[in-house]
């Protein structure tokens, strides 16, 4: 099962792993690989928001401009 979530101009593909019974995803259309996971829909959505914040903080620490958000 695949879904698309959006927040603050970013979007991510989310999936449900039946074998592991976990939701996971990755931010789309950025030049870096940023993934996240959670045990429920609410958790994976929150993890996505946290991943965006972490991505922006990491870019700032590395003096890198974050990939443009859509």
The domain tally of the chain equals: 1
Would 70 be classed as within a structural domain? no
Q: How does the average pLDDT of the chain come out, rounded?
A: 92
Would 40 be classed as within a structural domain? yes
Question: Buried b vs exposed e over 26-48: b needs ≥16 C-beta within 10 Å?
Answer: bbeebeeebebbbeeeeebbebb
Would 34 be classed as within a structural domain? yes
Q: How many Cβ atoms are within 10 Å of 21's Cβ, its own excluded? A: 8
Would 57 be classed as within a structural domain? yes
pLDDT band at 1 (very low <50, low <70, confident <90, very high): low
Residue 39's domain spans which residues? 2-61
Would 66 be classed as within a structural domain? no
Measure Cα distances from 58 to 10, 29, 33, 52 in Å: 16, 17, 12, 10
Would 69 be classed as within a structural domain? no
pLDDT(16) > 80 = yes
Residue that wins the pLDDT comparison between 1 and 48:
48
Longest pairwise C-alpha distance within the chain: 39
Would 67 be classed as within a structural domain? no
Question: Which pLDDT score is estimated for 6?
Answer: 94
Tell me the pTM.
Answer: 0.89
């Amino acid at each position: 099962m695949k879904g698309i979530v959006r927040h603050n101009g970013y979007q991510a593909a989310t999936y449900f792993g039946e074998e592991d019974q976990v939701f996971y995803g990755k931010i789309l259309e950025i030049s870096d690989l940023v993934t996240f996971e959670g045990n429920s829909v609410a958790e994976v959505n929150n993890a996505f928001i946290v991943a965006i914040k972490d991505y922006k903080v990491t870019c700032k620490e590395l003096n890198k401009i974050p990939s443009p958000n859509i």
